[in-house]
Amino acid sequence: MELAKILISLTLACVPAYIWGYIFYHKQPEPRKWVAITFIAGILSVVPIMLYKAAWQFFPQLNIFTYTDAWDRDLLGFSSLVYLPVGIVLAFAFVGILEEYMKNTAVRLTDRKNLACIDDAIEFCIIAALGFAFVENMMYFFYIWTYQGFESMFLSFIFRSIFSTFAHILFSGIYGYFYGIAHFAKPILQEQIRENRHPLLNALHRVVHLKSETLFHEEKMMEGLLLALTLHAFFNIALEVGWTFIIIPYLVFGYMFLSYLFARKENHKRYNRLIECPVST
């Protein structure tokens, strides 16, 4: 019976991965060999997170939620009617950083030599996100079937197929855009007029004696990570506090924004990669 649950959960998880993958593959077709490799890398990016959680049993001090729970009595007010425990915000921010970083690492380990334009970076990050979401969905389906019954599977399948899976695509796709800019740091930076950049960035360059393209690379990677984790945390918080009315317009706008990034002619431009992108940022 357990094996049947696993196989059925796996089959159900394949459905949104295939449908969303088909939609975005046609926006920027890539060699199928590298699509498969990236998808598998996205699946494997879940493993370090699972090992980290498993380690809590033996090393409870590693559990970040032990520390964020201490902030649950401190409230963050967004209006006179909306208050959120600081602990929840910190916990979801940590989850966002961990998941987005691992998905992007999967791309950097497998595809950085295959990128010819920014659209490639967006596409491969989306494929890695689908691999990550595939494992997450399979685990959720199995858990819900086991503890809530098969009759609870339908709503879970619909929600996770449409909303949760696309949320992963959105966060990683946006991160992929900034990763693409960082990946081609030198040629993109050469096209910019340096005088128009913020004086603080130029001052930082002089202080730390970094090459301008290296500083630009790190700057864009950090921008992408911060934006992805902010969107990720907001999505999780909206679900946590029951702001379901926000989810549909939030993700509709997200789909339109990703489509806009794929349509931008600037993102189609092919560059020679003139800076080695480090695996870690």
What tokens appear for 244 in the block? 């379901």
CB atoms within 10 A of CB 127: 33
Residues 39, 254: Cα–Cα separation, whole Å:
22
Residues 76, 91: Cα–Cα separation, whole Å:
14
Question: pTM, whole model, 2 decimals?
Answer: 0.84
Listed in sequence order, the residues at least 6 apart from 55 whose beta carbon sits closer than 8 Å to its beta carbon are 62
> Are residues 129 and 168 in contact, defined by beta-carbon separation less than 8 angstroms?
yes
What tokens appear for 210 in the block? 């970094």
What was the pLDDT predicted at 207?
A: 53
What tokens appear for 253 in the block? 């706008």
Q: CA dist 270 to 89, 118, 177, Å?
A: 39, 8, 14
Q: 3-class secondary structure for 84-127?
A: EEHHHHHHHHHHHHHHHHHHHHHHHHHCHHHCCCHHHHHHHHHH
> Are residues 151 and 235 in contact, defined by beta-carbon separation less than 8 angstroms?
no
> Are residues 124 and 34 in contact, defined by beta-carbon separation less than 8 angstroms?
yes
Q: Which residue has the tokens 């040629």?
A: 187
Q: What is the pLDDT of residues 97-151, one digit of tens each?
A: 899 999 999 999 998 788 888 899 999 999 999 999 999 999 999 999 988 888 8
Question: Could you please report the per-residue DSSP string of 142-188?
Answer: HHHHHHH-GGGHHHHHHHIIIIIHHHHHHHHHHHHHHHHHHHTHHHH
Residues 189, 152: Cα–Cα separation, whole Å:
52
Residues of the chain with pLDDT under 70: 71-84, 189-212, 272-281
Listed in sequence order, the residues at least 6 apart from 20 whose beta carbon sits closer than 8 Å to its beta carbon are 130, 165, 166, 169
Listed in sequence order, the residues at least 6 apart from 197 whose beta carbon sits closer than 8 Å to its beta carbon are none
What was the pLDDT predicted at 7?
A: 92
> Are residues 228 and 173 in contact, defined by beta-carbon separation less than 8 angstroms?
no
What was the pLDDT predicted at 133?
A: 96
Residues 19, 25: Cα–Cα separation, whole Å:
10
What was the pLDDT predicted at 23?
A: 93
> Are residues 90 and 71 in contact, defined by beta-carbon separation less than 8 angstroms?
yes
